[in-house]
A = this chain, B = another copy of it.
Amino acid sequence: MIKVALDAMGGDRAPRVVVEGAAWASGELDCHIVLVGKERSIKKFLNKADYVKNKISIENATEVIKMNDPAAISVRRKKHSSISIGIDLLKEKRVDAFISAGSTGAVVCAGALKLRTLPGIERPGIGVVLPTLKNPCMVIDIGANIETTPRHLLHYGVMGLAYAKYILGRHNPSVGILNIGQEESKGTELVREARQLFEKTDLNFIGNVEARDVYSGKADVVVCEGFVGNIVLKVTESFAESTSALLKQELTKRLLPKIGAILSLPAYRAIRKKIDYSEYGGAPLLGIDGRIIIAHGNSNAKAIKNAVRAAIEYVKHKINKHIIEDIEKINV
């Protein structure tokens, strides 16, 4: 049975929400979950939860890395943190995957320190699956690495394509480079050089993808440097939240629009389901010799449950094996 370690202390509403998500997953998914964190806190919430007894266990971790802790320093100092111990479990192959909704910086840092990158890969990248008008699209990297070279972008492409093919089920998925225009001459040196690298390969490379094409679903995989990717993700979230707050405000101001909103509820719910990150269950840290899923800090129990599902898929579909083979093949 696949074993998944879950950082019980990570996320805005940890450990409660993480424990609830684990309990939910134990009933629905075929795996064993190791909750990593302060045993007493975990037990307190686990005792209240409805879960499958023999599918959840606890690994005690006495320290917690907080969201605002400086990542590199706290990973080195807090050896007994849930993030450190979770990744140790992964390293020792006592679990198949590790999930955290805690500090992304700390998870990336601990992952890089304790685990090697896959053969041929220089830097890991975080890939996030975004909903689009067509199929979901993986944007990679969204912040694992901010000193990006053209080769890193190429490797992100290979990793994202493996994910799109085997997990998102795309046949012959396409990859593009996020850029400010279609033309070859557009953009920074980084993206121009990356384009040349991609063109030397047999990958299904469609050239530059403009930001406006991300959500129209032009490419299955969009590569970008971590700084830009992080901003794409956060700015979308921020815009979505602001607009939905505005919409709520306007809809409830007067009676008729309010009644209208109630009648329209099923449509709003359908949209919400489509664009809700909790449906997608976290972002894989691709390129390291281990399987790590980074969940949103704001994850609810459902998002945690779906992150466990994503981890299981990650293991089952042997993504890392495919990445190693595909990197060898491109030979650039």
Q: How far is the CA of A147 from the CA of B247 in the complex (A)?
A: 38
Q: In chain B, what residue has the closest Cβ to A251?
A: B267
Contact with B along A175-212 (1 / 0, CB 8 A): 00010110101011000000000000000000000111
Query: In the complex, are the beta carbons of A239 and B236 less than 8 A apart?
Result: yes
Question: What are the residues of chain B within 8 A of A187 when measuring CB–CB?
Answer: 146, 227
Interface residues in A210-229 by Cβ distance below 8 A to B read 210-216, 226-228
Q: How many residues of A contact B (CB 8 A)?
A: 62
Q: Is the CB of B266 within 8 A of A254?
A: yes
Q: A253-B267, A257-B267, A260-B261 are in contact. Are A235 and B215 (CB under 8 A)?
A: yes
Copies of this chain in the oligomer: 2
A169 shortest CB reach to chain B, Å: 21
Interface centre among A213, A226, A250, A275, by most chain B C-beta atoms within 10 angstroms, is: A250
Interface of A is mostly: helix
Which residue of chain B has the shortest Cβ distance to A235 in the bound complex?
B211
Given contacts A180-B231, A263-B257, A267-B251, contact A133 B242 (CB under 8 A): yes
Residues of A at the B interface (CB closer than 8 Å) are 68, 70, 105, 132-133, 143, 146-147, 178, 180-181, 183, 185, 187-188, 210-216, 226-228, 230-243, 245-247, 250-251, 253-254, 256-257, 259-268, 270-271, 274-275
